[in-house]
Amino acid sequence: MELDSEFLLFDLSLNLRSVTEFFKSILLLLVLLNPFLVVVYLIDIIEKLDAGAFRRVLVRAGFISSAVFIVFALVGDAVFSGVFQVRFASFQIFGGIVFLLIGVQFVFKGPNAMELLRGESKHIAGAIAMPVLIGPGTISASVVIGQRTNVMTAAAAILVSVFICIVTIVFLKRIHDYIRTKREELIQRYFDIAGRITALLIGSVAIEMIMVGLHAWLKEGI
């Protein structure tokens, strides 16, 4: 009877730990996806596309991002060390440089910078997925999620995180369209200022990523 009770308590503790890791993983990835920041970067697309077209493009970008995150969650360590024969620190340095370039472009050119960086509109779903949703931070988070949870939990956490992000962006698009009909000039001014301020923060994060990557790279030895 005591053995049964101990087994039940152990099983309950294990399940509780899995649930905790599941929600922690969702929160980790969702914070890095940051739908409120993504809206600033997608303002040119938000203004050009109607609600239906924007939703379809965003859903496709969500599918692409989810697939990439799940792959890195499952085989992230093997991809870097085994397949590509590169250190994760090198990925951090390159990712930081990409973020830095995006931040610099946005500071000086405003929301139009993202349109130039994404390229042609026919590739818009893939361009939203990378580099807006898929970046060094979210890829790193996916690897961490894969390391600390099982396959099903990792995949479920990633899918839920991306779903929440997409739904939030679609909702913000609706709010934007509603307010824009009445206060278009105010909306334009807000997104321009918010975007440039956000770009300064992104640039700072980019420098930090580069410095962390360089520190790890030098510590491991060339």
Distance separating alpha carbons of residues 79 and 65, to the nearest angstrom: 17
pLDDT value at residue 182: 66
Question: Do the Cβ atoms of 150 and 20 come closer than 8 Å?
Answer: no
Record the pTM.
0.72
State pLDDT tens for residues 156-179. 999 999 999 999 999 988 887 877
Burial class of residue 76 (count of CB atoms within 10 Å of its CB; 0-12, 13-18, 19+):
buried
Distance separating alpha carbons of residues 121 and 46, to the nearest angstrom: 13
pLDDT band at 217 (very low <50, low <70, confident <90, very high): confident
**Number of domains making up the chain:** 1
Domain extent for 98:
2-220
- Over range 79-91, report the average pLDDT: 69
pLDDT value at residue 2: 46
> Higher confidence at residue 59 or residue 14?
59
pLDDT value at residue 59: 92
- Over range 37-58, report the average pLDDT: 82
